């Protein structure tokens, strides 16, 4: 299996249950969902013209559509060569579940890493049983992809972006249509740190004993 890598870097996880944990991010290229507020729109399209070497990906100084095609063994080799010390690996995108992630999970877990996937829930989740799956379900997006019931059922964590009360209503309906496993963590994440969205998310979290995800990395101005 070969994966299109747009970015590979070490940082602090800024969202969800693992907020504050040192993490290695593997950002994959390609996503057809089309979320209007997406802050990684450069990962949407995958053109052969944008294929470059992994060394050039690692040298990028700004966001771009360029990506490298890399095997699981080579990804591990790059992580080790870069001297990253984090043991938590976040596979994101783009939409990582466009790809079968089981070969990559097998290699990284055998080397002692813990995996987390961040997905929109619009593709089947193919990964190891041990992977922490964060589903950030995208409802009624321009791409026209429906959130899958099997993806919601696999979620360890549901992280839902909110800006107004209708988004809470959408999440309520989604949880009725696509139930999650007992014990799944529900996080509300204010879109773009808007004060009204943050207040709404805090209020609903208090009412329902859900969890607030504040995108810590944006407040700290880090990747």
**Which residues contribute to the annotated binding site?**
12-14, 27, 31, 35, 37-40, 92, 94, 136-138
81 token code pair: 């060569």
Binding site for [4Fe-4S] cluster, residues? 31, 35, 38
Q: Report H helices in the chain.
A: 54-59, 72-82, 102-110, 149-154, 165-177, 195-208, 216-220
Binding site for S-adenosyl-L-methionine, residues? 37-39, 94, 136-138
Q: Are 43 and 118 in contact (CB under 8 A)?
A: no
Strands 132-135, 88-92: pairing kind: unpaired
Q: Within a 10 A sphere around the Cβ of 193, how many other Cβ atoms?
A: 12
Read off φ and ψ for residue 27, nearest 5 degrees: -100, 120
Binding site for Mg(2+), residues? 40
* 3-class SS letters over 126-177: CCCCCCEEEECCCCCCCCCCCCCHHHHHHCCEEEEEECCHHHHHHHHHHHHH
Task: In whole angstroms, give the CA distance from residue 25 to residue 111.
Answer: 16
Binding site for substrate, residues? 12-14, 27, 92
Q: Are 14 and 81 in contact (CB under 8 A)?
A: no
């Amino acid at each position: 299996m070969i994966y299109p890598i747009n970015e590979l870097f070490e940082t602090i996880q800024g969202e969800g249950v693992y907020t504050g944990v040192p993490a290695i991010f593997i950002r994959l290229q390609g996503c057809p969902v089309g979320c209007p507020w997406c802050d990684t729109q450069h990962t949407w399209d995958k053109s052969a013209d944008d294929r470059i070497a992994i060394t050039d990906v690692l040298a990028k100084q700004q966001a771009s559509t360029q990506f490298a095609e890399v095997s699981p063994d080579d990804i591990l080799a790059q992580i080790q060569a870069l001297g990253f010390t984090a043991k938590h690996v976040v596979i994101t995108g783009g939409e990582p579940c466009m790809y079968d992630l089981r070969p990559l999970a097998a290699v990284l877990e055998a080397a002692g890493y813990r995996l987390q996937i961040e997905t929109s829930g619009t593709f089947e989740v193919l990964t190891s049983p041990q992977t922490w799956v964060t589903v950030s379900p995208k409802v009624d997006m321009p791409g026209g992809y429906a959130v899958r019931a099997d993806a919601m059922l696999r979620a360890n964590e549901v992280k839902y972006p909110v800006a107004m009360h209708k988004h809470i209503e959408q999440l309520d309906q989604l949880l009725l249509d696509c139930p999650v496993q007992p014990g799944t963590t529900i996080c509300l994440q204010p879109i773009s740190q808007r004060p009204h969205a943050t207040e709404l998310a805090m209020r609903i979290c208090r009412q329902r004993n859900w969890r607030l995800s504040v995108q810590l990395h944006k407040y700290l101005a880090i990747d």
